[in-house]
Amino acid sequence: MGTAPSKTSTHHAVATPVVALPKPSKSPHQVDVKDVMISYSHQDVDAMRKLKSMLEGSGLTVWVDEAALTPGSVFLREIGEAIVASRLFIVLLSGDSVQSKYCQDEVSLAYVSNKNIFAVSLLQYDDVTKVMDLGMKLTLSCVQWTFLNEDTENAMNALLGSLKLSLSKVEGGNKEENEEDSGQGESDADDATNVMNKQALNFRLHAKRSSDMLPVETVPDNLMAQEFWKLKFGDVSEVEWAVFADTMKTHMSSMWNSIHMSAKDVKDMLKLIGTEMDVENGMLSYINYIKFCKKGKEIVALDEAVQLFASATVAVKGVFNISSSVRLTAIKNLGDHQSKAVINVLLDLLYDEEQDVQVVAAISLAHAASGITRIKTRSTVVNGLLGCLSSNDRLVRESGCLALGRMKSKAAIAKLLHLWRNDTISSVREAAQIAIEQIGGEEAERAMHVTKVLSDEIQKLKKN
């Protein structure tokens, strides 16, 4: 994957362990669980040490690569594992860290791993964001920011209070559970990150505006989703998507401008939002609009729903960039997501040039899609996984079998039976058999019975 950079480099790199099984065994180098993991540029090591000291002085345990990595360890992998294992994630922002590809990857990995993220900035908002790329701006647009450039003591006290509150909720298991959207035939995953992001948005809404706080233009106007629709479109049950998109674009122009989104960025984001809202034949229904704005048991403002979706989408796409240092680690953590954006990314990854990525994507796709009953979506996922069974790589075929078995896809029985009878690799034949047994049903039982009977007869002929 690459060699370890020296401590004089801009930042550390993160390795991505190869995973070919649904439940990978514990790594011999697996990191200890800590309260907080700090991501930083090594050029800010003095600031990181001061922050670490303050956190530990308040009773929190902290993971940083400087202290936790030892000579001979697979330390690139350990950084990725530390993000996943730690309860909270802090990114120390500076002119150096926001331009570090490794920091950007780590923020994206923290996001898709459902970590409560806290941004601690050494600079004022305008100074740090003017050198920050769009992806990081979107990903960090919904998290709590702390500024250490002025009044450090008060800023740290506020940060510590937020960290401890968040820890109490993580340790108490106070996470929103996925709830099934009755009448739609498909469940929605509402992860802990969305809950955290909502708390961060509320924090910013009620925060006193000052020179080191986020500009007021980035704060949603909190016009609730139902109110927005009624105000703009009245009591109609559906509206043309082009009309809705133009209305939303105008309504949210200050937010787009505040994070410096180009016209193309906005156009691409609206296209993704349209897909997520299930726009069909150029029309958006009120039901699908409300479904998009629903987070857990609460229907939030359109502004907030869009901001959460945008940041999540960018994080997912960023972490799977061809040069991302944390792709495989991130793919392992996508099983908790069931949004169309995530599923579409995973489907694309089934055709990645790296076969290790295809393997883990297939496994994650099975986890992410197992709760989806919408016929069209399930069919697309099953067809993608069926393609894995024709791969020339045995791990891709094996993971495809296991994924189809987990999805209990009856449409896969014929092809799985062919692999069970004909594949030259015993582990693939075994995976195909396991999948057929998991799928079950008369067709699977009949196919397995016929094959076993024929095998027994062939063995008898050999003996005679």
- Taking only the tens place, the pLDDT of each residue in 28-52 is 445 678 899 999 998 999 999 999 9
Domains of the chain with bracketed CATH:
36-316 (3.40.50.10140), 338-463 (1.25.10.10)
- Taking only the tens place, the pLDDT of each residue in 66-77 is 765 554 444 556
Rounded percentage of the chain residues whose pLDDT exceeds 70: 72
For position 391, what pLDDT does the model report?
Answer: 93
Burial class of 242 by CB neighbour count within 10 A (0 to 12, 13 to 18, 19+): middle
114: which DSSP letter?
Answer: T
- Taking only the tens place, the pLDDT of each residue in 215-263 is 333 334 446 889 999 999 999 999 999 999 999 999 888 877 777 777 8
Model confidence, pTM: 0.61
pLDDT higher than 80, residue 285: yes
Helix (H, G, I), strand (E, B) or coil at 216: helix
**Considering only CA atoms, which of 363, 320, 362, 333 is closest in space to residue 85?**
333
What does the alpha-carbon distance between residue 364 and residue 400 come to, in Å, rounded to a whole number? 11
